[in-house]
Each structure stands twice: as C-alpha cells, then as structure tokens.
Structure 1
Amino acid sequence: MYLTSRVEEIDESPTLAISSKAKQMKNQGLDIVGLGAGEPDFETPDHIKEAGIEAIEAGFTHYTTTSGIQELKEAICNKLKRDNGLEYNTDEIIVSSGAKHSLYNTLQAICEEGDEIIVPTPYWVSYPQQIKLAGGETVVIETSEENGFKLKPEDLKAKINNKTRGIILNTPSNPTGTVYTEEELAEIAKIAVENGIYIIADEIYEKIYYDQKPVSIASLNKEIKELTILINGVSKAYSMTGWRIGYAAAESEIVSAMSKLQSHSTSNPNSIAQKASLAALQGSQEPVEKMVTAFEKRRNYILDRINRINGLSARKPKGAFYLFVNVSELIGSKIANNEVVDDNKLADVLLTEAKVAVVPGSAFGAPSYLRLSYAASLSELTKALDRIEGLLGTEA
C-alpha cells in the first residue's frame, strides 16, 4: 500500500490517543478517571443549544458562504472590539471548522516549503504537525519552569533568520496555563515588527483566566496588528467542543487566501453551529463566568493535592484548565514493579495501575512533565488524586 511521506511523517495526536485508550479500558468495564481530554465537562448553555435547534427547524441546513455567515462575522468583530479593543471589518474575519482548522488554514496560507515557524515549548501538540504539513520547519525555543514557561526576548532574537516566517504564541497556554503580561507581549511584538514576521496568536483559552485578564497582542499597536493572525473560537469558552467553530482575524489579503483554501477543502463551516455560535457571542456570558469560577476552585484543589504527593510539583496556572506537573524526581524510579524510564512510561503506569489517564509532557515538547486536565468534576478529581496518592504516597 502506498502512502505519502507527508502523511507518514505526521504523528497521531497524543491527547486523543490517551483518551482513546482510556475509553477502550472503560469499555472493558474498568473504572477510569480521565484527566487527559482538553474539553470542558460542562453542558453547552441552553440558549446556545436552543439557537441550534431553531436553525434546524427553520431549515438553516444548507451551504453558507465559505468564510461564514455575515451576521456571525459581524458578531466576531463586535466581540473583538468589546473584549479586546480591536477594530476589524468582516472581510478580515474567516469562520472555520474549529480553531484547529483556523490554525491549519493559517499555516497553509503563510508557510512555504522550508520556511521556519518559531514555537516555544511547552507547545500544543498540533503545532509542529501542522507546520510539517505546510512544508515548514518547526524551530523550537525551550522555556523554563523557573521563568514561568515564558519566552525570553533574547532567545527569540537568536532564532530569527531570513527563513523565519512567524512565531506561534499561545496565551493562556495549553499545557502550562501561562498568561503573558502586556509588557512581555510588547517586547515580543517589537521584535516581530523589527523583523517583519507574523505572530500567530492562539487565544482559544482567552476567557478562561483567574487573575489578570489576558491581553491580545494585536491590540498593542497598528504595526503588530497588521502582522498578527488571531486565532480563537467558541469551543473552550462556551463548552462547544463538538460544534466545531473557530475563527481567524487578520489582514484581508491573508483572510482571502485562507478562504480560497477553505473553499476547496471543507467549504463552509457547519451552518447550524454557526447560528449557535452567534447566540454564544451575543447572548448571556453568565454561563462562562460560572464555569470559570468552578475551574478556579478545581485548580486550587488539584494544585494543593498534587504538591503534597511524593515526586510531584506544579506551578499555579493563570489560565486554561490544565496543571503541568513536574515529575522529574520520579524518572528512573520503580513504581509498582515498573521501571519509570520517562514521562511516557509514568503516564502508562498511572493508567494501568491507578486507572487515571493523563498526558505525558513529551507530547508538548517538555519531557519529565505530565499534563492533568481539571476539566472534570471535583468528585472525579478527588477520586483521581486519591488513586495517584495511593500509588505514589505523600511527601514526609
């Protein structure tokens, strides 16, 4: 059987692979606690579901304009102005089948064979794979836990050359929960403008924060706005992961190129989901606020428990709903007769011995860490942490 090298070189999403294995074990009758999935455990708010139902009943079930319906693009423009202080026209907005699709379109539109895209670690698992699909090269910049997993300006400058096309910046971050300050973003923006490179701003977790509100880098000045391709969507904020609606905001030439690409791949995003997303952006934001309040309570609980378990430690995340746990002390140890050679093996031991599914840090370019999602109920978190504690013990 013949398969292209392009496909064979792509790795399966490790987060989805972990979730799949956990589901298989559940189907075998095992009680698995899943802390691997990157989706809220809350129901999509009723007013959003009702809008979807109304769209079906009204017969809004056919093709729409490739780049999304006009009223949704107008709502996105209003949202960006209201929440981020950004002025966009509807010809600078494209709606796609999820934020992942928006990112894919972006890289296909701006990245040529051999171009370099800078990606700080820890990174979301799909960044390097999508860069590879676009024919580009991922240039990794390692960040440190001591520095809050934040990119240092001097490290960015050192990696830029005539092949550099852009940098992906994810804030709030998956998997670390890191949120950049306005001052930190300004330093990165200055470097991008000086070198004429794009900022691909992944802001999908924008509404899930616990302290200072995240700043959109595009809002800093006109020069950086012209170089920014802003990626966002409704999946995380409105618990709409299965509805598959994301969007990008950028200069009209870039959006036009992305729309052309989309017209020959997926065509328009789901018509019903677009109407539901319109309700999400225009309707009550109270469900989002309640969800974030619940996430903050869970964050504080899981952080306290993890930092009391033998061999585990974690920093307090400022956004998103993940805890990035340092497990370096456990590498090389033996747990339940298993040699823990790396974070992948530790994740496997936790799944087989404690029946808790987590994602190894290697998937995010950061070995010796684990990502735990606290997008699970407090009762499920308690069960998971009791099991991990039972397996590893607590610090003296």
Structure 2
Amino acid sequence: MIKDNKLVQAKIIERIEESASFAVLGKAKELEKQGEKVIHLEIGEPDFNPPESSINALIESLRRGETHYTTAQGIIELRKAIAEYERNFRKIKVEPEQIVITPGAKPMILFALLAAVNPGEKVLYPDPGYLSYKSLISFIGAIPVPYKLDKSRNFAIDFDDLRSKIDRKTTCIIINTPSNPTGMIHTPEELKEIVKIATENNLLIISDEVYSRIYFDGEEHNSILNYADSHHNIILIDAFSKTYAMTGFRLGYGVLPKELVGAVVKLIQNSFSCVPEFIQRAGIVALKEGEEFISRMVNEFQKRRDKIYSILKDVEGIHISKPKGAFYFFPEIKVNIDSAEFAKYLLENYKVALLPGDAFGENGKNHVRISFANSLENLIEASNRIADGLEKLRKERGLRA
C-alpha cells in the first residue's frame, strides 16, 4: 500500500521471519569481503557436485528443446520414476497420480498447508525444528504450536507435551525425520504413537523426510507411511536437494492423498506454473542411477561426523552427541553465554559461522547447529577453533550452573 507517498509492505509479510541461515551467511560474506577467511558451518547444503549423469541429462534435455511449459503436476515420466523409487525404498505403493512436483521441498510444505489447513486452525510442529515451519504456518493464517523434542532423550518426542497441546482447533502435525537441526531420528515406536494420536484426533500428518537417505552407523530410514494402515491423512515430502546434492536444481515432491492433489496443482498453476522439464529429466536419472553417488556421499559425511566428534567430545564447555542422520550436530553449549552471543563471538573472533540453537525454537536454547557439509580439512580447523573459543570463554565466564 501507499502511505504518505511511501510504499509500505503488506502486513502479511510480518508473519514471516528472516531465515537465520541466510542472515548468518550474509554476515560471514561481509567478513570475507574484508579479506577474512570464514569457515561456513551455517548452511545446510551438501558440498558435493550432483551426479554427473544428472548434469548430462539436463544438458541433453536442453539440447532437445525441452524448455517450454509442461504440466503443473510434473511430467508423467518423473512421477512414474518416483512411484517406482517409493516402492523400492520406502516399500509403499504410490500411484503417479498422487505425486506432485515442486521446486524443492519448501513450496510443497507451503502448498500442503494452504490446501489442507484453514486460517485460525492450529498446526503442531517440532521444537527444535526446521526454521520455515513456524513462518509458513503463520503465513497462511494458521496458529503455529510447537511440541517439545526432549533433549535429555536425544531429542525424542515428548508425547506428554504433544498431547497437552492438542485441542479442538488442532488439525495438523508436522514431523521431520531425520531431524534438522538435531540430526536425530524418530523410532518406529514414536512413529506408531504419532499415527495413533493423529487417528484419535483427526489430524493431518505432514512428514518432512528430505534427509531420508542420509543415515549413519547402519541405521535405516523409518517413514511414518510404514506404520499407518491407511495413508488418507498423511502427506509425504521429499526432495532431491540433500539426497543428490541438487540444491540449486530446486526439485522436490509430495505424495498426497488424492483428495488434495487438485488443490495443490491449482496453487502451482497460479504461482510458478511448473518445474522446468529439463530439471525434471535430471531428477529421473538421479533416481535411476544415483545409488552409488548416495553411498559415497554418506560415507564421506560419516567420516566428517566422526572426526568432529573426536575433537569436541572431551572439550569442557560443550556437550555433544553423534547425530544418527542428516549432516548436523546440535550440541549444548555449557559455557555461561547464550547461543546467539556464542555464534556471534565465534564468527567475529574465530571466523567460524554456525547457527544459534534458539533460531530453531525455544527448546533449542543454549545449543548451536554445526553443519558438517564442508571439507574434512575445513571441519578439523573449525572444530579446533570452536574448542579454542570455548576454552577462552570458559576461563572468562565460567560454566553454566
């Protein structure tokens, strides 16, 4: 709107919070402009190049002239490939008609909420949890309600807290496994309990599983779809960004109850129209030929995880556990300093960029998120810098009671 001859942004924008990841990245980039070398542990992006076969498929598609509009739901070849992938990986039967292609997972989360949740209804989301959940819930006019992940039990769901948050306005619950930011995974018992609670309270489940292929120590992915007799109230969201290091391709998908497909397609038609066909062609090849790539990437992530842990596990002033999936540590800082100030201190004094835990919710207080999507050499250097910073702060400020 125009007010006093000045353009004023719409009030709806106030519902959306700035991404902490990109805010820290911006500050780190400013230091780099000044000639400083910053080690980036703040962004959740694999530092690998995508599979070469997917890059070639994209180029070949461009050369074939596949550069025009295509169907809003996604090309049938990709949806069939995803259906086959789901049968092989998650062991679930999915029809191509249930699958909708989006530019990454975030639009799918937004469109799922828009299609299924009314303004004024309540949506449960994990705390600590992915930065965008709260903003997207607020943006559609719904009420974001955090439920606790219990830090004393490796961030397992606190079901007493979750049940206490449900009332007649609650219509949806978001789950995320493996978890961003904690790197922990939900057990079959937790997922069964979520199914039970959702059934008892007529809740829609949005299951964010974008880290579904990044597991360590022989752990295997548990999808909530494997523990539900019916999938009529479950939306599965996955993407190619983390699995195949294809973040810049912007390619994700949802597996939806058939009743919601038309609504989501309508939203796509009236927003970005479609995901480019050449991007979708790259996705098909990734699904069919990417298993070796995933294995190599995950093995490298595990080496990095183990090295960071070996450096920081005995450092006084930090309590760190090995994540079981994704590529994040979420340690508790025991020094007498809040997590935002600690992150600022490390960036300014030790040139290490990481994220304060309270950016992920109240239950992330006194924690920080450390991404190990960087080279082993940089991660060793960053871990030693973190240890040095903690030692200096411990001497200056002491440990938290």
> What TM-score does the superposition give when structure 2 sets the normalisation length?
0.93
1:217 aligns with 2:224: yes
Question: In structure 1, what is the equivalent of residue 369 of structure 2?
Answer: 371
For 2:67, the aligned partner's letter is T
Residue in structure 2 matching 1:326, options 317, 326, 332: 332
Residue 256 of structure 1 is aligned with which of 256, 262, 272?
262
Name the aligned partner's letter for residue 356 of structure 1: V
Q: Which residue of 1 aligns with 2:18?
A: 12
What whole-Å deviation, never above 9, does each CA across 1:29-52 have from its counterpart, x for those lacking one?
A: 111000001010011110111111
The SS at the match of 1:315 is coil
SS for the counterpart of 2:151 is: coil
Count of residues in Structure 1 that have an aligned counterpart in Structure 2:
385
Cα distance in structure 1, aligned partners of 2:215 and 2:299: 9
* Structure 1 equivalent of residue 388 of structure 2: 390
Equivalent-residue separation in structure 2 for 1:253 and 1:23 (angstroms): 45
Q: Which one-letter code corresponds to 1:371 in the other structure?
A: R
Match of 2:244, SS state, is coil
CA distance in 2, matches of 1:145, 1:191: 22
Tell me which residue corresponds to 1:349.
345
Which residue pairs with 1:64 in the alignment?
70
Match of 2:129 in 1: 123
The unaligned stretches of length 5 or more in structure 1 are 332-339
Structure 1 equivalent of residue 295 of structure 2: 289
Please list every run of 5 or more consecutive structure 2 residues that lacks an aligned counterpart in the other structure. 1-6, 396-401
After superposition, where does 1:165-184 map in structure 2 within 5 Å?
165-184=171-190
Say if 1:181 and 1:214, in contact at 8 Å, map to a contact too: no
Residue by residue, what CA displacement relative to the aligned partner does 1:186-228 show, whole Å, maximum 9, x if unpaired? Answer: 11111111211011000000000013211110122332x2111
Q: How many angstroms does 1:144 deviate by?
A: 2.0
CA distance in 2, matches of 1:152, 1:145: 9
Distance 2:293 2:68 in 1: 30
The aligned residue for residue 334 of structure 1 is none
Contact 2:171/2:204 (8 A) holds in 1: yes
Answer yes or no: is the 8 Å Cα contact 1:121–1:149 preserved in 2: no
Alpha-carbon distance in 2 for matches of 1:259, 1:306: 47
* Pairing of 1:139-154 with structure 2 (within 5 A): 139-154=145-160
Q: Which amino acid aligns with 2:284?
A: L
The farther-off stretch of 371-380 and 302-311 is 302-311
Match of 1:337 in 2: none
One-letter amino acid of the counterpart of residue 201, structure 1? S
C-alpha distance in structure 1 between counterparts of 2:95 and 2:387, whole Å: 52
- d(CA) in 2 for partners of 1:150, 1:134: 28
The question of 1:274 aligning with 2:280 is answered yes
Give the letter for the 1:367 counterpart: K
CA RMSD, 1 decimal: 1.4
Q: C-alpha displacement at 1:110, in angstroms?
A: 1.2
Contact 1:176-1:323 at 8 Å conserved across structures: yes
Distance in 2 (alpha carbons) for counterparts of 1:143 and 1:238: 28
Partner amino acid for 2:357? G
Match in the other structure for 1:158? 164
Amino acid at match of 1:213: E
1:268-316 deviation digits (Å, cap 9, x = unpaired) = 0122211101111111410100000010111111122222223111121
One-letter code aligned to 1:237: T
Which residue identity lines up with residue 160 of structure 2 in the other structure?
A: E
CA–CA distance in structure 1, aligned partners of residues 348 and 214 of structure 2: 32
- Tell me which moved more, 303-312 or 275-284: 303-312
Per the TM alignment, residue 57 of structure 1 is displaced from its structure 2 partner at its CA by: 0.8
1:348 shift after superposition:
0.5
Structure 1 residue identity aligned to 2:161:
D
TM superposition shift of 1:156: 2.2
1:360 aligns with 2:356: yes
Report Cα offsets for 1:353-376 as digits up to 9, x if no partner. 000000000110111110000011
Q: Distance in 1 between matches of 2:192 and 2:15?
A: 36
Distance 1:99 1:7 in 2: 21
1:56 positional shift: 0.8
**Letter of the aligned partner of 2:129 in structure 1?**
Y
Supply the AA of the counterpart residue of 2:283: S
Give the aligned residue type for 1:220. Answer: Y
Q: Contact conserved, 1:176 with 1:322, CA < 8 A, in 2?
A: yes
Amino acid at match of 1:232: D
Deviations 1:299-352 (A, max 9, x none): 11112222222311112111000000101x223xxxxxxxx4x21111010000
SS at match of 2:153: coil
Q: Contact between 2:174 and 2:205, CA under 8 Å: does it hold in 1? A: yes
State, as a whole percentage, how many aligned pairs show the same letter.
38
**Contact kept in structure 2, 1:111 and 1:135, CA below 8 Å:** no
Say whether the 8 Å CA contact 2:148–2:158 is kept in structure 1: no
Between the aligned partners of 2:39 and 2:313, the Cα distance in structure 1 is 20
